[in-house]
Every structure is written in structure tokens, then in C-alpha cells.
């Protein structure tokens, strides 16, 4: 008991070297791949539809491996999951960079998504176990913020690298980022500090988990499907529309990079808003503005106009910093955290996977502009679901409630 009482209270800064810095390095590479893999596919001879399918393979890999990743996480813990996923991401990024044709590129991008599923779950499991609920919004928003700083650096730097040496150089940023993240995890994430990822008799099964928590998945989960749908659609539509306008890789990289700069400025204020006023104050405005920005994309006809719309979309995306991860951590039952987060990611990543496929299908049948409008419309519907059907998951303790037992500091 005395040991528990003497334990230092949780400090957000304890996560800097264990989670935030590795996320930043991985984010630089991930954003470079997301910005330029569709253009790499085009450079290898793919049509707009096929290039979009190549992009979509990453989201498909994430979605298919979300549940297996949750089971792996429950068995081996966050540290080993981080190490394995970082190694795999770095290796698959190198293979993607030197793919000889769009088919091989799509296969490696799919594998990259599978490894990314484990990486995303492992870092959130670490944070959600370490941070009490009163600081969880800010703690997880800072994970999103670290990713967003990487989203600013990756496309901007990757664009100039692609302009100089080709898209292969931009994709290799992921491999170099993975090396740096691996060194940080090896140095600062220790097994003796590792929080336990609780699980109730693995595996409980996807169907049982969905049935037990069906209200959460049918409301908040459905809203997160729409949000991920928007985010993935935005990531493929902006570079493709820039290519349609005849912009070069450096200009496209600047559009995405400046949009991410606006995005990254909001992560901490948004975390404070989520912890003070509730999660809906983040999710609903984010989806409304993000959907609206995509409706404006077909109206742009120059670098400057696309940049303005990109900045609006970046601001909108920033308003949703960490919302999906925070909702998942809030709704997860303590006795099966790893499994629930895996299923939660699986459900929300239906949008991650479906977004680019819808863009590919609509662009092939109609035009890229129609695909922008269709994707934006999904965002408006998702905002309605979040506003009127999803529960508010911020639960404040009453003054007479005892304070929670301090958690082990990672």
C-alpha cells in the first residue's frame, strides 16, 4: 500500500520518448507514402482508378489485420508489438519504393497496412493504460499531434525529394523514420514499466465483441467509419486533383504539407476541449468542415485555390485530433482492452479501406470531381450520426468519488 501511495502521479511528459517521438518519426514516413504512393503508381503506368486502388490497399491491410493485431497485442504486450511493427513497416516501405509495377506496389502497400495496424494499437494501448481518464484526451491528442507534425514534414520534404530523385526517395522516408523510431523504443520503452493489456479469455471472438458492445459500434463506431472515410478520401483526392491540374510533386507536397501545418497546431487545444467539454465538441465540427472542404475541391483550378481548400481541410482534420483513439479508449472495457481496441480499429477502418475504393469506383465511372462530392457527402452524414445518436463518453467523477489509483509511469 505504501508503495502505491508513494508512486508519482502520471505526467504527460513521461510519454515523450516512449510514444510521441517514435510516432513523429513514423509519421514523417507514413505521410510521405500517403502523399506520393498514388503518384508512384501513376508513374509506373497505372490509370487513375488503379492508382487509387493501390493507395486503398494500405487501408485494406490495416482493416483486415486490426483484429489479429489486437490479439497479438493482448498476448505479447505493447513493447514487443511496437518493435515488431516498426521493423515490418521499415522493410515493407523499402520494398514499396523499389516495386517494378503497380501490382507489386499494391501488394507491398497492403503488407505495410497490416504492420501499421499493430503499430497503431500498440502505442494507444500504452497511453490508455498509463493515462487516467481526466488526462486521456490530452495524452491521446498528443499522439495525434505527433503524427500531425510528421504529416507536415513528410509531404513537404518528400515532395522536394521526389522532384530531385523520384518518388522512390519519398517512399524511403518511411524506412529511415522506422530506424529512428526503433532506436527510441529499444532505448526508452522497458518491459519492467510495461502496462498490462488486459484481456478476457483470448479470443472472445469478433462476433461476440460486436454483439456485446453493439450500441457503441452502431453509433460512435459508425461515425468513426465516416471520419476515416473522409480522411482517406482527402489523402487520395488532394494529390490526384493536383495531378489533374498539372501541378508538380513539389507543389502537391506543399499543398499537403501546409494543410498538415494547420492541422498540427490544433492537437493540444482540441485535447483540452475534449477533456473539458466532451468528445462530440471535437468530432462533429471536424466532420462537418472536412466534408465541406471536399465539396469545394472540384471548384479549384490553380495551385493557390487548391492550397486554400487544403488549408480548410487541414483545419477540419485538426479539429478531430485523436478523437477516434480517445473514443475507443473511453468505450473499451478494462478486462478486454486489447481485444476491444482491435475490433474498434477494425470497425473504424472500414472507412479507411472503403474511402479510396469509392474514389476509384466513382472516378472510373464518372469523374474525379464527382468522387470529391460523394466523399464530402459521407462526412455530413457522419456528423449527424455523431451529433444525435452517439453517446458522450467523457465521464467526470463526482467530488465525493475517490481518486483513481495512480498508474505505473511508463
**DSSP class per residue in 260-312:** HHHHHTTHHHHHHHHHHT-THHHHHHHHHHHHHHHHHGGG--SHHHHHHHHHH
- What predicted TM-score, i.e. pTM, was given to this entire model? 0.71
Cα dihedral 48/259/121/404 (nearest 10): -160
Higher pLDDT, 199 or 343: 343
Question: 481548400: which residue's cell?
Answer: 309
Q: Tell me the domain boundaries of the chain.
A: 14-191+205-388
What is the C-alpha to C-alpha distance for residues 302 and 297, in angstroms, rounded to an integer? 11
DSSP 106-173: HHHHHHHHHHHHHHHHHHHHHHHHHS-HHHHHHHHHHHHHHHHHHHHHHHHHHHHHHHHH-HHHHHTH
Higher pLDDT, 121 or 352: 121
Structure confidence at residue 22 as a pLDDT band (50, 70, 90): very high
Structure confidence at residue 56 as a pLDDT band (50, 70, 90): confident
What is the C-alpha to C-alpha distance for residues 267 and 275, in angstroms, rounded to an integer? 12
User: Residues near 391 by Cβ (< 8 Å), separated by ≥ 6?
Assistant: 215, 216, 219, 220
Structure confidence at residue 193 (pLDDT):
57
Closest-CA residue to 342 (of 141, 144, 203): 203
Output the furthest CA–CA distance in the chain (Å, rounded): 68
Q: Average pLDDT, whole number, for the chain?
A: 84
> Would you give the DSSP letter of residue 220?
I
- Can you tell me the mean pLDDT for 230-241? 89
Structure confidence at residue 191 (pLDDT):
67
Closest-CA residue to 96 (of 41, 161, 25, 150): 41
What is the C-alpha to C-alpha distance for residues 58 and 195, in angstroms, rounded to an integer? 29
Structure confidence at residue 400 (pLDDT):
43
- Can you tell me the mean pLDDT for 309-333? 88
∠ CA 352-377-38, rounded to 5°: 40
Cα dihedral 106/112/113/114 (nearest 10): 110
Q: What is the pLDDT of residues 367-386, one digit of tens each?
A: 889 999 999 999 999 999 99
What is the C-alpha to C-alpha distance for residues 347 and 327, in angstroms, rounded to an integer? 13
- Asked if residues 358 and 201 have their Cβ atoms less than 8 Å apart, the reply is no
Phi, psi of 120 (to 5 degrees): -65, -40
What is the C-alpha to C-alpha distance for residues 100 and 105, in angstroms, rounded to an integer? 7
337 has pLDDT over 80: no
Topology (CATH level 3) of domain 14-191+205-388: Growth Hormone; Chain: A; (1.20.1250)
- Can you tell me the mean pLDDT for 63-79? 85
Amino acid at each position: 500500500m505504501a508503495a502505491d501511495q508513494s508512486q508519482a502521479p502520471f505526467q504527460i511528459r513521461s510519454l515523450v520518448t516512449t510514444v510521441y517521438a517514435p510516432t513523429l518519426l513514423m509519421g514523417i514516413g507514413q505521410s510521405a507514402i500517403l502523399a506520393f504512393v498514388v503518384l508512384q503508381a501513376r508513374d509506373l503506368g497505372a490509370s487513375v482508378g488503379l492508382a487509387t486502388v493501390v493507395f486503398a490497399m494500405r487501408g485494406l491491410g490495416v482493416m483486415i489485420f486490426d483484429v489479429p493485431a489486437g490479439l497479438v497485442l493482448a498476448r505479447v504486450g505493447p513493447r514487443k508489438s511496437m518493435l515488431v511493427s516498426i521493423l515490418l513497416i521499415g522493410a515493407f516501405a523499402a520494398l514499396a519504393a523499389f516495386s517494378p509495377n503497380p501490382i507489386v506496389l499494391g501488394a507491398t502497400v497492403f503488407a505495410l497496412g497490416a504492420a501499421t495496424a499493430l503499430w497503431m494499437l500498440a502505442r494507444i494501448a500504452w497511453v490508455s493504460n498509463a493515462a487516467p481518464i481526466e488526462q486521456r484526451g490530452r495524452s491521446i491528442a498528443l499522439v495525434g499531434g505527433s503524427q500531425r507534425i510528421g504529416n507536415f514534414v513528410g509531404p513537404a520534404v518528400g515532395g522536394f525529394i521526389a522532384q530531385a530523385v523520384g518518388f522512390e526517395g519519398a517512399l524511403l522516408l518511411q524506412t529511415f523514420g522506422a530506424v529512428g523510431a526503433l532506436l527510441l523504443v529499444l532505448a526508452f520503452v522497458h518491459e519492467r514499466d510495461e502496462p498490462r493489456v488486459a484481456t478476457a479469455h483470448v479470443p472472445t471472438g469478433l462476433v461476440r465483441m460486436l454483439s456485446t458492445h453493439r450500441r457503441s459500434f452502431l453509433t460512435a463506431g459508425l461515425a468513426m467509419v465516416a471520419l476515416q472515410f473522409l480522411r482517406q478520401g482527402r489523402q487520395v483526392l488532394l494529390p490526384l486533383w493536383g495531378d489533374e491540374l498539372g501541378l508538380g510533386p513539389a507543389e502537391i507536397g506543399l499543398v499537403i504539407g501546409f494543410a498538415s501545418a494547420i492541422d498540427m497546431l490544433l492537437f493540444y487545444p482540441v485535447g483540452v476541449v475534449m477533456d473539458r467539454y466532451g468528445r462530440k465538441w471535437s468530432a462533429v465540427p471536424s466532420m462537418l468542415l472536412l466534408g465541406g472542404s471536399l465539396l469545394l475541391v472540384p471548384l479549384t483550378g490553380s495551385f493557390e485555390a487548391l492550397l486554400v481548400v487544403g488549408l480548410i481541410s487541414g483545419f477540419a482534420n485538426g479539429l478531430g485530433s485523436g478523437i477516434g483513439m480517445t473514443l475507443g479508449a473511453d468505450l473499451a472495457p478494462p478486462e478486454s482492452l486489447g481485444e476491444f481496441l482491435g475490433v474498434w480499429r477494425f470497425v473504424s477502418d472500414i472507412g479507411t479501406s472503403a474511402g479510396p475504393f469509392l474514389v476509384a469506383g466513382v472516378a472510373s465511372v464518372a469523374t474525379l470531381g464527382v468522387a470529391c462530392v460523394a466523399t464530402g457527402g459521407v462526412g455530413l452524414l457522419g456528423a449527424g450520426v455523431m451529433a444525435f445518436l452517439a453517446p458522450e463518453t467523457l465521464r467526470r467523477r463526482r467530488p465525493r468519488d475517490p481518486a483513481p489509483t495512480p498508474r505505473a509511469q511508463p
